[in-house]
Amino acid sequence: MTSHASHQQAAKGSDAGGLRHVAIIMDGNGRWAERRGLPRSMGHRAGVEAVRRTVTAALDAGVANLTLFSFSSENWSRPPAEVEFLFGLLRMFIRRDLARLHRDGVQVMVIGNRNDLPPDIAGLIREAEALTADNRRLRLLVAFNYGARDEIVRAARRLADKARRGAIEPEAIDETAISSALDTAAIPDPDMIIRTGGEFRLSNFLLWQAAYAELVFTPVFWPDFDAAHLNAAIEEFGTRARRYGRVAPNPA
């Protein structure tokens, strides 16, 4: 993981209407396939193409940080063949797309619990992060084997261990300390979270970080998501009044 200063540098300079961080819950692959009489695996494969389109669209829009929810810690309950297929897609995406992402100035980071990942997947993740660590045009965070509650539990354990060792006083554990112990430490909280597929929930995604995020829900299934949909969401974000609990100032 790069330094605090490096993260802050990558977070600056967004042209997307003040957006520093867009996060997307990529939902609807299975239903997209089922409605076409195709196996669910074909929906997941089409979803990878949507990832490529969306990364390109985010680069064009000047988004500084893009987080994609690709595999939930709850997804282990799916049929083993589907889980293995999803792992295979991650392997393929890193092997086929890493060079292009690096060339385009994309820094790749993976958030989530790595303890249960197969060794080759963990190795590919380390390779992708090391190769792209100095890129600053776009930070692409892939939430893989990720669950927000698990992330918060792991952060609490880190802080508890520091307190046990005397590295921090319990009274020093505040919102800043918790944020700094999360997988997204030193990365701006999402300004906007988009969920595709027509569902209206966060599904254990960035629960701490989403406190003041603007939420955009679209019925479009993820495999059909493209630059036009991302730009429409950015335009929608531009119409929102973000008050952070404060009263909006009276117009002059």
**Catalytic center residues:** 27, 75
Give 191's contacts (C-beta < 8 A, 6+ positions apart): 18, 19, 20, 21, 22, 213, 214, 237, 242
Q: For residue 227, which amino acid is it?
A: A
Residue whose structure tokens are 């307190």: 163
Task: Give, for 85, the enclosing helix (H) or strand (E).
Answer: helix 80-103
Q: Alpha-carbon distance 24 to 205, whole Å?
A: 9
Token representation of residue 104: 């385009």
Tokens matching residue 42? 């074909």
Length of the chain in terms of residues written: 252
Buried (b) or exposed (e) across 91-123, using 16+ Cβ within 10 A? eebbeebbeebbebebbbbbbbbeeebeeebee
CA torsion, ordered 147, 161, 128, 25, to nearest 10 deg? 20
The 3-class SS string of 190-252 reads: CCEEEECCCCCCCCCCCCCHHHHCEEEECCCCHHHCCHHHHHHHHHHHHCCCCCCCCCCCCCC
Distance of CA 235 to the CA centre of its chain: 20
Tokens describing residue 160: 């508890």
